Amino acid sequence: MSFFNSISRSMTRSSQRGPKRSPTPTSASASMDGMPPPSPAAVSVPSTPVTPSIPKALYLSRPFVEAALVKGNFKTIVMLPKYVDIMEWVAVNIFDFYTNLNEFYGVITECCTQQACPTMSAGPVLNYTWINQERKSVHLPAPTYIDYVMTWIQNLLQDESAFPTKSNHEFPQSFPSTVKHMYRQLLRVFAHIYHAHFHQILHLRSEPHFNSLFAHFLSFGREYELLEIKDMKGSPSAPVGVGQLWEKWKEMGILEG
């Protein structure tokens, strides 16, 4: 079942009850009061114009690339369980991905400093930029960027109007676009950790756990159309490091297309 089709069906039903409403692609920003909004228009900018020659990263090398807590394909654990509402399922999974990723980042945070990570790097020539309140694309140190993302997501998760937890509260019309926006930013945090901090993950011997968390995140994102291929792979001149990991895991049968 498609998450977005399911939402659009329920939107059609709700629009029959009231006046027709226009799509609200920017509505996620309404919940970001006091925070510099992470923009869906944020672009990946290569730090240099040269064509990259990419040395093979450790996370793409054996045995680390195949280290996992979960053996086999992730398809079965992302499928919607019987009798569970699809929006509830997406909401609870987003909460888990955020919580687990936040714990991993908490462990390596003392290594992710303004000096060590002056930009939000995610590939040899890729540094994500942030759209600030003046709508300007700016480079931020990775810890600042990640702090903005995680604080913004935590606030949304605690906002009853964005992520309803009470049985009489309905999911808002903006829920799909909000979730997709969150997913895109969480992907960037994963991408930075793999690119800049994988040796610390190895030092902690946490690579099976971290790989399984990321593979689960990717599989779920593809199943519910929350992840765009272009965000996974980046541009040819500025590829996302973990885009190659995604390709490898597809070859290995851990993930589907």
CB of 102 to Zn ion, least distance (A): 15
Say if residue 192 carries a ligand binding annotation.
Answer: yes
- The two tokens of residue 172 are 């808002």
What angle, rounded to 10 degrees, do the helices at 86-108 and 175-203 form? 30
Biggest CA pair distance of the chain: 57
Say if residue 181 carries a ligand binding annotation.
Answer: no
CB of 149 to Zn ion, least distance (A): 13
Length in residues, the chain? 257
* Identity of the residue, 128 or 246, whose beta carbon is nearer to Zn ion in the bound complex: 128
CB of 186 to Zn ion, least distance (A): 15
Say if residue 117 carries a ligand binding annotation.
Answer: yes
* DSSP-based three-state secondary structure for 13: helix
CA distances from 228 to 21, 40, 47 (A): 26, 12, 22
| Terminal alpha carbon distance of the chain | 16
CB of 35 to Zn ion, least distance (A): 20
CB of 105 to Zn ion, least distance (A): 9
* Identity of the residue, 117 or 201, whose beta carbon is nearer to Zn ion in the bound complex: 117
* Identity of the residue, 24 or 206, whose beta carbon is nearer to Zn ion in the bound complex: 206
CA 76, chain centre distance (Å): 20
* Identity of the residue, 150 or 156, whose beta carbon is nearer to Zn ion in the bound complex: 150
- Residue 111 sits at φ, ψ, to 5 deg, of -90, -20
CB atoms within 10 A of CB 157: 16
Say if residue 169 carries a ligand binding annotation.
Answer: no
**Tokens 């808002």 — which residue?**
172
* Identity of the residue, 60 or 142, whose beta carbon is nearer to Zn ion in the bound complex: 142
CB of 196 to Zn ion, least distance (A): 4
Q: Are 199 and 58 contacting, i.e. CB atoms less than 8 angstroms apart? A: yes
* Identity of the residue, 153 or 196, whose beta carbon is nearer to Zn ion in the bound complex: 196
In DSSP notation, 199-210 reads HHHHHTT-HHHH
Residues that bind Zn ion (CB under 5 A): 112, 117, 142, 196
Q: Are 174 and 27 contacting, i.e. CB atoms less than 8 angstroms apart? A: yes
CA distance 192 to 117: 9
Binding site members for Zn(2+): 112, 117, 192, 197
Binding site members: 112, 117, 192, 197
